[in-house]
């Protein structure tokens, strides 16, 4: 469940790999779970977490309420094009229940919220990758398969990463969140090497499809707080969905963003640049099948007849908006973003 006032995740159950207890973070998480009254079970080697549920919807929802603390043994980091060079594996999955989420396909039917206890080893690998690329800058994405802010009160991993990169020449870090509990990271020494992005959407999309996430107003407040703390900030809008009245819905969002992004007096000089990342709604055949099994009553627009077929880089087929609709979306958002001082379109796909 989520505690609405803070946007913090409190799991119903937790599983701790025995090896994770050899690390300070693993032991710290166990103590935090005890304080919260969350039952935790130690997993022996080869054991797997058990999640209740009589149908795909129940199993999926219960998996999202299950925390698994692991040791990440793979020392290779996945690439993260086009936004970064590498993924930084702090957390995998997220407590949000967004109906459109692509992780429903990549993480399978039991998308536990996974935390990696060996944070020092993970950051040491990141440092090695930075050093091999010098004098080029290396960018790490902390939210490629997760939303680490929602469980930051249990781990402190996001804060540790922010402070680590603040002193590492040749590095940059970025993360994005749909949650509002930014207070633990506001006073950190970040050296402006971390870009904090907030994922927002039209109020209709958040209320209809983004379950167990913070409301829009709380996310906008978090964006203002992050900017006031001196972080470079960014805005992600995705997926852009052309629901009935979509232009009015997104126009209201942009008006509220303009207010939230007003220049704070504490910022050093002038207007700070704010990149916008926009991703239009798309889906694959397998994603549609998974979505309908977990959310059988979904209102997502999943009719292939209304879409254009596009082939992904690995040969799979995805369904995207036809070009005429894409042109309308591009024109609308470019005009709206131009009205925000310092804002620009980083990408719109």
Could you report how far apart the first and last alpha carbons of the chain are, in Å? Answer: 33
In this prediction, residue 110 carries a pLDDT of 79
Q: Look up the pTM and report it.
A: 0.91
Alpha carbons 294 and 301: distance in angstroms, whole number:
15
Taking Cα atoms as reference points, which of 337, 281, 345, 286 lies closest to residue 98?
281
**Ranges of the chain whose pLDDT falls below 70:** 1-7, 104-105, 108, 263-271, 312-315
Taking the C-alpha atoms of residue 69 and residue 19, their distance in angstroms, rounded to an integer, is 10
Per-residue confidence (pLDDT) for residue 67, from 0 to 100:
97
Q: 90 phi and psi, to 5 degrees?
A: -90, -45
Distances (CA, A) of 283 to 46, 99, 100: 34, 11, 8
Coil, strand or helix: which one is 154?
helix
Q: What is the pLDDT of residue 149?
A: 96
Distance of alpha carbon 187 from alpha carbon 171, whole angstroms: 20
Q: Which residues, 6 or more positions from 303, have their beta carbon under 8 angstroms from its beta carbon?
A: none
Query: Which residue do the tokens 């008006």 mark?
Result: 255
Q: What is the pLDDT of residue 313?
A: 63
The 3-state DSSP class for residue 236 equals: strand
pLDDT digits (tens, 9 = 90+) for 239-256: 999 999 999 999 999 999
Q: pLDDT tens for residues 39-61?
A: 999 999 888 999 999 998 999 99
- What's the gap between Cα 210 and its chain centre? 12
What pLDDT, on the 0 to 100 scale, is given for residue 271?
Answer: 57
pLDDT the model gives residue 104: 67
Structure confidence at residue 269 (pLDDT): 46
Task: Tell me what pLDDT residue 314 has.
Answer: 61
pLDDT of residue 268: 46
pLDDT at residue 102 in the model: 76
Q: How many CB atoms lie within 10 A of CB 318?
A: 15
Yes or no: say if 118 and 72 are a contact pair by the CB < 8 Å rule: yes
Alpha helix ranges (H) inside the chain: 24-36, 56-64, 103-106, 119-133, 152-155, 157-166, 183-186, 203-209, 216-228, 246-260, 285-294, 323-338
Domains (range + CATH), the chain: 1-177 (3.40.50.12110), 187-281+321-349 (3.80.30.30)
């Amino acid at each position: 469940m989520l505690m609405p006032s803070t946007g913090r995740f409190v799991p119903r159950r937790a599983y701790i790999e025995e090896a994770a207890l050899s690390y300070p973070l693993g032991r710290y998480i166990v103590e935090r779970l005890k304080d919260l009254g969350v039952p935790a079970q130690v997993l022996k080697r080869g054991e797997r977490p058990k999640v209740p549920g009589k149908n795909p919807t129940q199993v999926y929802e219960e998996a999202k309420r299950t925390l698994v603390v692991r040791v990440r043994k793979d020392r290779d980091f996945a690439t993260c094009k086009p936004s970064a060079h590498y993924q930084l594996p702090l957390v995998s999955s997220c407590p949000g229940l967004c109906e459109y989420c692509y992780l429903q396909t990549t993480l399978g039917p039991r998308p536990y919220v996974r935390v990696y206890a060996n944070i020092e080893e993970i950051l040491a690998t990141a440092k090695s990758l930075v050093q091999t690329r010098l004098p080029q800058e290396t960018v790490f994405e902390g939210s490629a398969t997760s939303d680490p802010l929602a469980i930051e009160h249990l781990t402190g991993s996001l804060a540790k990463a922010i402070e680590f990169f603040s002193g590492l020449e040749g590095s940059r870090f970025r993360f994005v969140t749909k949650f509002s509990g930014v207070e633990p990271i506001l006073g950190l020494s970040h050296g402006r090497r971390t870009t904090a992005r907030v994922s927002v959407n039209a109020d209709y999309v958040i209320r209809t499809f983004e379950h167990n996430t913070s409301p829009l107003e709380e996310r906008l407040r978090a964006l203002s707080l992050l900017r006031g703390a001196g972080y470079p900030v960014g805005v992600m809008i995705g997926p852009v969905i052309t629901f009935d009245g979509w232009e009015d819905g997104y126009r209201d969002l942009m008006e509220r963003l303009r207010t939230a992004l007003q220049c704070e007096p504490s910022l050093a000089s002038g207007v700070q640049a704010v990149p916008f990342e926009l991703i239009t709604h798309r889906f694959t055949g397998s994603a549609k099948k998974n979505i309908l099994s977990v959310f059988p009553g979904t209102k997502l627009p999943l009719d292939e007849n209304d879409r254009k077929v596009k082939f992904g880089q690995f040969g799979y087929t995805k369904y995207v908006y036809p070009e005429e609709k894409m042109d309308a979306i591009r024109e609308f958002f470019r005009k709206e973003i131009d009205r925000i001082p310092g804002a620009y379109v980083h990408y719109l796909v």
